[in-house]
Copies of this chain bind each other. A is one copy, B any other.
Amino acid sequence: MSTGKSTLVRVAERAGVSIASVSRVLNGLPASESITERVRAAAEELGYVPNATARSLKVGRTEQIALAVADVGNPVYVSMMHAVNEVVASAGFRLVLSSTGSDPADQINLLKNLNRGFADGLILSPLRVTPDLIEEVRASRLPLVIIGSLPEGVAVDNVRANSRKGVGLAVKHLYEQGRRHIAFLNGPLDTVPGTARLAGYLKAMTNLALPVTSDLQVEATDFTYHAGLAATTALLNQSSPDAIVCSNDLLAVAAMKIIVGRGLRVPQDIALVGMDNTDITELANPALTSVDLGSARRARKAAKLLLARIDDPDRPVQSVVVSPTLVVRESSVVAG
């Protein structure tokens, strides 16, 4: 193994063959014993490593896929990233992280940039879906998979959770625990999960013949821990729920903090259920009951869909829905 740049040409010179032969040998195409031998030796001695960029330009593939998520601070996106990376890496693809904010403009920009061909496809998990974004998604000529809901009629591969049903599981569980004043701590209403989860809450409450009052509902300005603190404070100032369904785990942990800070007990005084079933559910004290929306599974599925689409651009569009499950822990069940 030697120093310096080595190219096909240099290997070819050293082996005394043509660059075509070198390329063949290195790509496992048929070649004579003798040439194979010499090429391998020459490549080894020169420490030859094929250039990814040149290869990409030639074959029209970068072996990279891009992932864009809204909020890297949210553990659910971290687990998605992890899951996606596992799938694509084992298929020989690299993962390019295109962190965008929750601003749709960022995503639109990203979609445009993708046409520069630095990646073979994109997995996008938008928090807010605007008409502009949809337009751009429609127009995108690159393999694209959306994690999350999309309006009917947008023919793009996508995989989403049934978060309405998920909220339903949470409400029903709390009802079965004897709770009747079940509040809902939501994230911003102008987001896709925000609206879906609210719908789920309203429906579940109605189904159970529980009164739906506005003082039992509060909307955090963001799906973050800090926003959750403020929102929970507001909620407890305007009503006295005996249970709170939270739109994600970060909000739930924030709620727990405020509740305990007020000298109330979880779950005795207020039962708590989060959503996403992230790692922090176990770190929490008491451990947080949470609705598992299958984020890792969704991410894996999305990655596989994308790889399949890259492989065959003409395959039928697929839309998969992952069913939620409830993971009961300590925050919602009074022991004994």
State which residues 6-57 of A face B: CB under 8 Å.
Answer: 47, 49-54, 56-57
B75, B96, B115: which contacts A64 (Cβ < 8 A)?
B96
- Whether B112 pairs with A85 at a CB distance below 8 angstroms is no
Chain B residues with Cβ under 8 A from A116's Cβ? 49-52
Whether, in the assembled complex, A256 has its beta carbon less than 8 Å from a beta carbon of chain B, the answer is: yes
Whether, in the assembled complex, A184 has its beta carbon less than 8 Å from a beta carbon of chain B, the answer is: no
- Residues of chain A at interface, number, CB under 8 A: 45
- Whether A94 pairs with B81 at a CB distance below 8 angstroms is no
Residue of B nearest to A56 (CB): B53
B78, B98, B250: which contacts A78 (Cβ < 8 A)?
B78
Copies of this chain, count: 2
- Whether B118 pairs with A94 at a CB distance below 8 angstroms is yes
CB distance from A65 to the nearest CB of B (A): 11
Whether, in the assembled complex, A192 has its beta carbon less than 8 Å from a beta carbon of chain B, the answer is: no
State which residues 242-273 of A face B: CB under 8 Å.
Answer: 250, 253-254, 256-257, 260
Whether, in the assembled complex, A138 has its beta carbon less than 8 Å from a beta carbon of chain B, the answer is: no
Contacts A56-B53, A279-B225, A283-B283 hold; do A96 and B94 have CB atoms under 8 A apart? yes
- Whether A115 pairs with B81 at a CB distance below 8 angstroms is no
Chain B residues with Cβ under 8 A from A117's Cβ? 49, 51-53
Chain B residues with Cβ under 8 A from A284's Cβ? 283, 285
Instruction: Determine the distance from Cα of A31 to Cα of B99 in the docked complex, in whole angstroms.
Output: 36
When each residue 89-126 of chain A gets 1 if its CB lies under 8 Å from chain B and 0 otherwise, what string results?
A: 10000111111000000000000100111100000000
Q: Sample 6 A-B pairs with CB under 8 A, ordered by A number.
A: A51-B57, A51-B117, A52-B116, A53-B56, A94-B98, A257-B283
Q: Which residues of A contact B (CB under 8 A)?
A: 3, 47, 49-54, 56-57, 62, 64, 72-73, 75, 78, 81-82, 85, 89, 94-99, 112, 115-118, 141, 225, 250, 253-254, 256-257, 260, 279-280, 282-285
